[in-house]
Amino acid sequence: MMNKKKSLQIGLIGLGRMGRTHLRHLISQVKGVNVAAVADLVCRKEDFNNEFGEIPFFNDAQKILENPRIDVVVITTPTSTHKPLVEKAIHYRKHIFCEKPLDLSLEVTEELLNKAASAGVKLMLGFNRRFDPDFMQAQQSVAAGKIGRIQIIKITNRDPTIPSIEFIKTSGGMFMDFSIHDLDMARFIMNKKIVEIYAKGLVFMDKSVEEAGDIDTALITLTFEDGSYAVIDNSRKAVYGYDQRLEIFGDEGMILVDNNLYHQNILYDKNGIHKALPLNNFMARFERSYLKEMQLFTEAIQSGLPLPVSHEDIMAATTLAYAAQKSLQSGMPVKL
Ligand SMILES: NC(=O)c1ccc[n+]([C@@H]2O[C@H](COP(=O)([O-])OP(=O)(O)OC[C@H]3O[C@@H](n4cnc5c(N)ncnc54)[C@H](O)[C@@H]3O)[C@@H](O)[C@H]2O)c1
């Protein structure tokens, strides 16, 4: 386990889209850490060292897991590999940051969390939306009572383009892969118990999504214990970019988080008023949230303070995603 006086030794496993994002932050912007090694199944060592310098690199994740100098593993491999990697990390007593979802099964998710807790291993999941400065500010305003009692929260999360069918087939489906972020955000901002979920969804755009057993459009309604609502609308394709908006309506006001645009200039001419499009992908839109998430995770490990995403948060969002699927299949609301 870690020595508090030295910097935290990190091993990162999986150098794809998320792995690269976290690695860049860990190398240059997260304080008090050292990237001790990186592993990726397919990346070539020469290519890795050319891009990231002389950090030890392996194709086999076991080299990281069994290294006694490493305190923390960051797991950014595809979801289907999380379980075996997390189990091994627990076995070797490494603290864990894992990308979402932890696993597609509710039972396995609970089992992994319990195993980590009994081994004294800290485990956090990448619910990065919580760490976006705009969303964090909205959450703080709600918590401070600035807009009174909240009646409705509306979350819009639409991808710019449909992901590859290969990805869709292994992603766990729209609710577990995509809406899980919004389900976590609804809990994070409202900080109230959810008593019911009602999910509707269909394939609107691409029949191959249906053939892969998924949907591309969804609407989820959550009812909270005091009767207030969350409405989440999801789409796998928005032609104008990555659409990420939030509206919170209370009896003393409203908070609106609009899209982050490529630039803030607004051009007025005889045809109308013209603005830039929203940032076009999750890496650009949520860049600051991924950095903040990793800063707060590593600080919590170093200080021994609670992680900013708890086991309860992980179980709750996973349970909601699972219940959304049940609701879609039955056509009925699901009581929680
Ligand atoms: N938080 C977010 O906003 C967000 C966004 C996208 C993806 N994700 C999650 O991040 C995870 C990774 O997604 P991605 O899009 O970065 O995937 P990706 O396919 O881009 O990259 C995965 C990488 O892992 C490597 N890999 C696979 N198995 C391995 C193993 N056993 N050992 C070492 N390396 C291995 C692959 O070679 C690949 O380079 C998924 O769980 C996904 O759900 C989260």
Asked if residue 69 has pLDDT above 50, the reply is: yes
Distance between CA atoms of 172 and 249, rounded to whole angstroms? 32
For position 13, what pLDDT does the model report?
A: 98
For position 6, what pLDDT does the model report?
A: 84
Distance between CA atoms of 171 and 158, rounded to whole angstroms? 16
Distance between CA atoms of 108 and 283, rounded to whole angstroms? 28
Question: Could you tell me which of 196, 195, 194, 200 has the C-alpha nearest to residue 179?
Answer: 200
> What's the 163 CA to ligand 1 centre distance in angstroms?
14
Question: Could you tell me which of 63, 116, 111 has the C-alpha nearest to residue 94?
Answer: 116
Asked if residue 280 has pLDDT above 90, the reply is: yes
Query: What's the CATH architecture for 129-289+316-335?
Result: 2-Layer Sandwich (3.30)
Residue nearest ligand 1's atom 13 by CA: 78
Average pLDDT over residues 315-320: 98
Domains of the chain by residue range? 8-125, 129-289+316-335
pLDDT band for 332, please (50, 70, 90 cuts). very high
Distance between CA atoms of 93 and 112, rounded to whole angstroms? 13
pLDDT band for 5, please (50, 70, 90 cuts). low
> What's the 140 CA to ligand 1 centre distance in angstroms?
31
Tally of CB atoms within 10 A around 258: 11
Average pLDDT over residues 186-210: 96
State pLDDT tens for residues 71-124.
999 999 999 999 999 999 999 999 999 999 999 999 999 999 999 999 999 999
Query: What's the CATH architecture for 8-125?
Result: 3-Layer(aba) Sandwich (3.40)
> What's the 4 CA to ligand 1 centre distance in angstroms?
29
> What's the 225 CA to ligand 1 centre distance in angstroms?
36
Distance between CA atoms of 18 and 290, rounded to whole angstroms? 9
Asked if residue 328 has pLDDT above 90, the reply is: yes
For position 3, what pLDDT does the model report?
A: 46
- Testing ligand 1's pocket by substitution, the residue of 99, 104, 181 carrying the most ligand atoms inside 8 A of its CB is 99
Asked if residue 254 has pLDDT above 90, the reply is: yes
pLDDT band for 9, please (50, 70, 90 cuts). very high
Pocket of ligand 1 (CB under 6 A): 13-19, 39-42, 61, 76-79, 81, 99-100, 126, 128, 177, 282
Q: Hey, what's the torsion of the CAs at 158, 159, 164, 167, to 10 degrees?
A: -70
Distance between CA atoms of 84 and 98, rounded to whole angstroms? 12
Average pLDDT over residues 273-287: 96
Residue 164 has which token pair? 């590859």
Q: Rounded to 5 degrees, what are φ and ψ at 57?
A: -130, 140
